[in-house]
Amino acid sequence: MTILVVEDEIKITRFIKKGLEMDHYTVDIAYDGKEALEKAEINNYDLIILDIMLPKMDGIEVCKKLREAKVETPIIMLTAKNTVEDRIKGLDAGADDYLVKPFAFGELLARIRALLRREKTVKNTELQVGDLTLNPATHEVFRENKEISLSSKEYRLLDYMMRRPGHVCTRTMIGEHIWGYNFKDDSNVIDVYISYLRRKIDKGFRARLIHTVRDVGYKIQDKKPKIKTINVSAS
């Protein structure tokens, strides 16, 4: 399950991201309304946590524009405001739930689970590039029907790249997504994790899938990269 967290306060963002990842969610981050809108329109998120007070475009406007664009991803709005009028504005804009700051993280997790249970069927996206598959619901990774065991960061890196098959993932993009907004590429940590992945998903197989784009970053690609959508009944 992949969740987009939209929050401009870095401390709160880190707190939410860390907690969600400990609960086995994959987390993407946006720090302003425009970035949130762009990411939510391009990527297939399972849920969006959206702050109202944001730079460039507030959360109410982001929510409205997503619903106008027929993006039906469940949205939980976060705000420091607790008046009835504010809650009405958020829900009328298309939000599915509303949580007031400060909040207990356990309550946020419960609301996420409740929203994800609402649908009778849950649309999961099984990612596939060549003969490599990744199931976000089960965190299982296979190549040529052989299961591949990955660490948490290896899995998040592979998931991130497989959602962008054939597209270059720059070092900055990878660093900020996996290690956080303040990531400074003053070490070889990205190269190290790419090397780990290559040993597990490329070594011993018929073709390399992870490619280096010199001086830019990396991409994952086969001759015909694709994403396959499957529908799985909720249990």
Which of 19-23, 25-29, 39-43, 92-96 has the weakest average pLDDT?
Answer: 39-43
pLDDT at residue 121, rounded to an integer = 42
| Tokens linked to 45 | 């998120």
- Average of pLDDT values for 25-48? 88
pLDDT at residue 146, rounded to an integer = 92
pLDDT at residue 25, rounded to an integer = 86
- Return the SS3 of 101: coil
CB atoms within 10 A of CB 157: 24
- Residues 164, 168: Cα–Cα separation, whole Å: 8
Backbone angles phi, psi at 57, to 5 degrees: -160, 125
pLDDT at residue 120, rounded to an integer = 41
- 182 closest CA partner among 17, 3, 4, 2: 17
- Residues 99, 61: Cα–Cα separation, whole Å: 17
| Tokens linked to 4 | 């987009």
Q: What is the percentage of the chain residues whose pLDDT exceeds 70?
A: 88
pLDDT at residue 125, rounded to an integer = 64
Distances (CA, A) of 62 to 19, 65, 88, 94, 195: 24, 5, 16, 10, 38
pLDDT at residue 170, rounded to an integer = 87
Whole-number average pLDDT of the chain: 84
Which of 79-83, 164-168, 218-222, 227-231 has the weakest average pLDDT?
Answer: 227-231
Distances (CA, A) of 219 to 62, 91, 162, 216: 30, 39, 9, 10
Distances (CA, A) of 46 to 4, 76, 166: 8, 12, 23
pLDDT at residue 118, rounded to an integer = 73
Per-residue pLDDT for 226 more than 80?
Answer: no
Express each pLDDT in 148-201 by its tens digit: 999 888 988 998 899 888 889 888 888 877 776 556 666 688 899 999 999 999
Q: Which domains does the chain have, with CATH numbers?
A: 2-118 (3.40.50.2300), 123-229 (1.10.10.10)
Percent composition of the chain: helix, strand, coil (DSSP 3-state, to 5): 40, 25, 35
Backbone angles phi, psi at 47, to 5 degrees: -165, 150
Place of tokens 């249990």: 235
pLDDT at residue 61, rounded to an integer = 92
Strand partners, 39: none
What is the model's pTM? 0.56
- Asked if 210 and 98 count as a contact pair (C-beta separation under 8 A), the reply is no
